[in-house]
């Protein structure tokens, strides 16, 4: 018996902008947020031997102000990613951007729990989070502390003093 299957492809609308001779596109129907939101240009990177994407707002900002500093992002001040006017683009550190614009939304099930090492309360991002950020950084920077943490008795609170 023959199976009647009709394949319907979604209608793709590609919005295009030409900036300095390069075509930047975005697909409003795309599944991923960056493809749906930002205008991007695909180019081949001969050093890494793969294709990379340049976003229009980053190119515009770097044309006016120079190279984007490490660990900084270009933020649309009015929240509209289609407004790529230079007066709307702001360069801010990634940490500030995440805390200001994505803070509690990203970890909606987070709750305050005490750190198992120092006792200070912190916002746990997962159910398995046992350490605050300071203790986590300390444990993973010192081999002696990390070894003590890994071989600890998990039924007892962690002793700060050996």
- pLDDT means per 10 residues, the chain with 162 residues, are 42 79 85 83 87 90 90 86 89 78 57 81 76 76 74 70 58
The pLDDT, as a whole number, for residue 8 is 40
79 Rama sector, left if φ>0, alpha if ψ -120 to 50, beta otherwise: left
Q: What pLDDT shows up at residue 63?
A: 92
Residue 35 is predicted with a pLDDT of 82
The DSSP secondary-structure symbol of 37 reads H
Q: Which domains does the chain have, with CATH numbers?
A: 15-104 (3.90.75.20), 107-150 (no CATH)
Provide the pLDDT for residue 1.
Answer: 39
pLDDT the model gives residue 4: 43
3-class secondary structure, 68: coil
Its pTM stands at 0.57
- Phi, psi at residue 42, to the nearest 5°? -90, 125
Q: What is the secondary structure of 117-155 as a DSSP string? A: TT--EEEESSTT--S-HHHHHHHTT-HHHHHHHHTS-TT
């Amino acid at each position: 018996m023959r199976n009647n299957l009709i394949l319907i492809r979604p209608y793709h609308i590609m919005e295009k902008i030409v900036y300095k001779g390069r075509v930047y596109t975005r697909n409003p129907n795309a599944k991923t947020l960056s493809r749906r939101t930002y205008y991007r240009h695909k180019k081949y990177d001969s050093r890494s031997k793969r294709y990379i994407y340049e976003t229009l707002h980053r190119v515009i900002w770097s044309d006016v102000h120079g190279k984007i500093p490490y660990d900084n992002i270009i933020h649309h001040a009015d929240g509209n990613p289609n407004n790529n006017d230079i007066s709307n683009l702001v360069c801010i550190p990634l940490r500030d951007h995440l805390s200001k614009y994505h803070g509690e939304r990203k970890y909606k099930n987070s709750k305050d729990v005490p750190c198992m090492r120092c006792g200070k309360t912190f916002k746990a991002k997962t159910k398995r989070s046992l350490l605050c950020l300071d203790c986590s950084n300390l444990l993973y920077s010192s081999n002696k502390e990390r070894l003590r943490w890994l071989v600890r008795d998990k039924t007892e609170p962690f002793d700060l003093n050996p």
